[in-house]
Structure 1
Amino acid sequence: MERLVGTVSRGIRAPIIREGDDIAQIVVDSVLAAAESDGFTLRDQDVVAVTEAVVARAQGNYATVDQIAADVRSKFGEHTVGVVFPILSRNRFAICLRGIATGAKKIVLMLSYPSDEVGNHLVDLDLVDEKGVDPYKDVLTEEKFRSLFGYHKHVFTGVDYIAYYKEVIQSCGCEVEVVLANDCRAILDYTKHILCCDIHTRERSKRLLKKAGAELVLGLDELMTAPVDGSGYNEKYGLLGSNKATEDKIKLFPRDCQPVVERIQKELEARTGKHVEAMVYGDGAFKDPVGKIWELADPVVSPAYTAGLEGQPNEVKLKYLADNEFAHLSGDALKEAISDYIRHKDADLVGQMVSQGTTPRRLTDLIGSLCDLTSGSGDKGTPIVLVQGYFDNYTK
C-alpha cells in the first residue's frame, strides 16, 4: 500500500539529565524505548536530535558570575568597558552581564534600537519614525531616549530592559552609563576598550572597531574560552549560546559534540541495523510575526551533526511543475509525470526555475528549527526529537 504520511517529528521523553550522565547512551535508550512504547520503527535516514542544553548539562559545562568576572578582569584590567549590542534577555545575557559588571569598575552599555539583533524591541519602529529619529545615524543618551520615547516594556516579558540592565550592573557595585546607537563605532567616544556582545554580526563589529582605533576589542566568544578557577568553558564560542542556570551560574554552549552524535549513530545502527543521522541542536532560526523576534540567540543552530546532514535540500516545486510543464495533465497521468521528473531531476537545481520557492537553507538549520519547535523550551520534557521521512519525496 502506498505510504501517505510524509515528515513526522516526535518529541522523545528522557530522564532529567545530570552532570556526568552518559548523554549518548541516554539518547539511544530513550529513542528505542519510545519506539517500543508507541509502536513505530526506525528507518534509514531518520534523524535523531538532542538539544544542546542537556548535552552541556551532562558535560557539566557551567561558569559562575565570579569566574566570568575573573576572566573580564584578566582581559580588561581597570579600564572602562564598552559593552556593545547585547541582546535583551534575562535568560541569555543578564547573568553574563552580572559577571562582566562584577569584573569591571565602569561599563558604558550601548544598546541598539529600536530592537536588538534578534528582534527584541526597546521601542516601536513607527514611534521612531514619528519622532523624526534616524536610527542609522542618531546616537541617543539614556536621557534623550526617555524624553523621546518614555518607558516601554517588552511585549512578551513585560521588562523595561534599559532599567533592568542598569539595575543588574549597579547591583554589582559597577558604575554604568547607557547609550543607544546602531553604529558600533559610537562607543569610541566613551572608551577604547570594547566587549562586542552581538552574536551574528560580531565579526563585522570587531573589524569596524579595530579599524576605527579601538585599543582592545573582544567578543563574548572570547570570554570563558578556557577554564577559569575550575569553570567550564567553550574554546570556540566562549559565552555565546549560554543560558541562565541559577541566579549565579550559567550553562555554557556544549563543547566536543561531534563524538556524541557519531556515537548515537553508531549505537543505533548496531542495535537496529538502520543508518540514522544524528545532530545536536540549539535555537531554531525563525521569526515570530507578533513580537518580531527571530529566535536564534545561539551562535549556530547545530554545533555538531553526522555527515549525512551536510548540505541543503535539492528539491523541485510541485505546484510549478503542475502549473507549467504538466499543465495539460491530470489525475494518474499528472502524478506519474511529476514522479518521473523527480526521479530524474538534476543533482544540483540551484538557479533553475523549477526549484524557485523551495527553501534555500542548510539541512541542519531547517531540521534544527523543526526540532526546536517540536521540543519547545518549557515543560514538555522532550529534549530528544526523532524526525522521520524528512528526506522522502513525492516518489517514496
Structure 2
Amino acid sequence: MERLIGTVSRGIRAPIIREGDDLAAIVVDSVVNALESENIAIGEKDVIAVTEAVLGRAQGNYATVDNVAADMRAKFGTGTVGVIFPILSRNRFSILLRGIAKGADKIVLMLSYPSDEVGNHLMDMDLLDEKGVDPWHDILTEAQFREKFGKVIHPFTGVDYVEYYGNLIREAGAEVEIIFANRATDILKYTKKVLACDIHTRKRTKRLLKAAGAEIVLGLDDLLTAPVDGSGFNPDYGLLGSNKATEERIKLFPRDCQAFVEDVQARMLKRTGKKVEVMVYGDGAFKDPVGKIWELADPVVSPGYTDGLVGQPNEVKLKYLADNQFADLKGDELKAAISDFIRKKDADLVGQMVSQGTTPRRLTDLIGSLCDLTSGSGDKGTPIIYIQGYFDNYAK
C-alpha cells in the first residue's frame, strides 16, 4: 500500500538539561526511546532538530551583566555611547541593556519607529500620518514623542518600553537621553561612539556609521566574542541570540554547533544504522499576521546543520501541472502523469514556470520554522523535534 501521510513533525520529550550534560547522548537516547515507545521506524533522511537553548545550557555558555559592562568599558572607554535600534523585548534585550548601561556614563538610546526590527510596534503607521510625522526624516525627543503619542503600552506584554528602558538605564547608574529616529547616522548628532543593536541589518548600519565619521562603531555581535573574566562567549555572534537566564545572567547563543550536529548524526548511525540529518534551531522565520511581530530575533534560524540540509527545495507546483500540462487528464491517469513528471523533473527548477509559487527559502529556514512552531516557547517540554517525510514528494 502506498504511503498516505506526508511530512510529520513530532516533539520529543527530554530530561531538563543542565550545564555539563552530554547533550548528544541525551538527544540520541530520547529520540530512540520515544520512537520505540510509539513503534515508529527510523528512516534515512529523517531529521533531528535540537533547540539552541538546551545546547547553550549544556555548554554552560553564560555571562553576567557585569561581564557585559566590563566588555563595554574595555571597548568604548568613558563618556557617552549611542545605543541604536534595539528590539523591544524583556527576554532578549532588557538584561543586555542593563549591562550596556552599567558600562557607560551616558546612553543616548535611539529607538526606531513605528516599530522595532522584528515588528514590535510603538504606534501604527496610520497614526504617524495623522500626526504629520515622517519616520524617515523626523527625529523625535522623548518629550515630543509623549506629546504626540502619549503612553504606549505593548499589546502582548503590557509594557511601556520607552519608560521601561529609560528606567533600566538610570537604575544601572548611567544618564539617559531617548530619541526616536530611523536613520543610523542621526545618532552622530549626539555622540561618535555607537553600539548598533539591530540584528539582520547590522552590517549596513555599521557601514553607514563608519562612512559618516563615527569614531567607534560596534554591534551586539562584537561584545562577548571572547571570555570576559571567565564568562561564556560566542566568537561568531557575540551577544546576538542571547536570552535572559536570571536577572543577573544571560544565556548566550551556543558555540561549536557544527561539531554537535555531526556528533549526533554519527551516534545515531552507530546506534540505529540509519543516517539522519541533524540541525540546531533557534527562532523560526515567520511573521504573525495579527501582532505584526516577525519571530526571528536570533541572528540565524540554524547555527549548525549536517550536509543533507544544505540548499533549497527543488519542487514543482502540483496545481500548476494539473491546470496546464495535464488539464485534460483526471483520476489515475492524472496521478500517473504528475508522478512521472516529478520523477523526471530538472535538478534545478529556478526560473521555470512550473516551480512558480513554491517557497524559495533555504531548507534550514523552512525546517527550523517548522521546529520552532512544533516545540513552542513555553512548557511543552519538547526541545528535540523529529521530522519524517520532509524530503518525500507525490511521486513517492
TM-score range, shorter chain: over 0.9
2:117 is aligned with 1:117: yes
Q: Could you say what secondary structure the match of 1:279 adopts?
A: strand
Structure 1 residue 6 displacement after superposition = 0.2
Structure 1 residue 286 displacement after superposition = 0.1
The corresponding residue for 2:202 is: 202
The corresponding residue for 1:43 is: 43
The corresponding residue for 2:228 is: 228
Unpaired runs of at least 5, structure 1: none
Structure 1 residue 117 displacement after superposition = 0.3
Distance in 2 of aligned mates of 1:143 and 1:124: 19
The corresponding residue for 2:93 is: 93
Distance in 2 of aligned mates of 1:39 and 1:179: 59
The corresponding residue for 1:21 is: 21
Structure 1 residue 43 displacement after superposition = 0.3
Structure 1 residue 71 displacement after superposition = 0.3
Q: Could you say what secondary structure the match of 2:391 adopts?
A: coil
Q: TM-score, normalised on structure 2?
A: 0.99
1:1-396 equivalence runs, <5 A: 1-396=1-396
Q: Could you say what secondary structure the match of 2:245 adopts?
A: strand
Percent identical among aligned pairs is: 75
Q: Could you say what secondary structure the match of 1:116 adopts?
A: coil
Distance in 2 of aligned mates of 1:155 and 1:204: 30
Residues 309-368 of structure 1, C-alpha deviations (whole Å, 9 max, x = no match): 000000000000000000000000000000000000000000000000000000000000
Q: Could you say what secondary structure the match of 1:68 adopts?
A: helix
What is the root-mean-square deviation in Å for CA atoms of aligned residues?
0.5
Residues 77-128 of structure 1, C-alpha deviations (whole Å, 9 max, x = no match): 1120100000000000000000001111100000000000000011111111
Structure 1 residue 38 displacement after superposition = 1.4
Residues 164-186 of structure 1, C-alpha deviations (whole Å, 9 max, x = no match): 00011011111000010000100
Aligned partner of 1:77: which letter? G
Counting matched residue pairs gives 396
Q: Could you say what secondary structure the match of 1:239 adopts?
A: coil
Distance in 1 of aligned mates of 2:157 and 2:355: 40
Distance in 1 of aligned mates of 2:186 and 2:136: 11
Distance in 1 of aligned mates of 2:212 and 2:388: 50
Distance in 2 of aligned mates of 1:308 and 1:273: 17
Structure 1 residue 273 displacement after superposition = 1.2
Distance in 2 of aligned mates of 1:263 and 1:45: 16
Structure 1 residue 259 displacement after superposition = 1.1
Distance in 1 of aligned mates of 2:118 and 2:348: 32
Unpaired runs of at least 5, structure 2: none
Structure 1 residue 384 displacement after superposition = 0.2
Aligned partner of 1:303: which letter? P
Distance in 2 of aligned mates of 1:114 and 1:207: 23
Q: TM-score, normalised on structure 1?
A: 0.99
Structure 1 residue 269 displacement after superposition = 1.0
Distance in 1 of aligned mates of 2:294 and 2:394: 31
Residues 169-208 of structure 1, C-alpha deviations (whole Å, 9 max, x = no match): 0111110000100001000000000000000000000000
Aligned partner of 2:88: which letter? L
Distance in 2 of aligned mates of 1:5 and 1:160: 47
Q: Could you say what secondary structure the match of 1:246 adopts?
A: coil
Aligned partner of 1:207: which letter? R
Would you identify which runs of 4 or more consecutive aligned residues in structure 1 move more than 6 Å?
Answer: none
Distance in 2 of aligned mates of 1:259 and 1:31: 19
Structure 1 residue 272 displacement after superposition = 1.1
Q: Could you say what secondary structure the match of 1:229 adopts?
A: coil
Aligned partner of 2:102: which letter? T
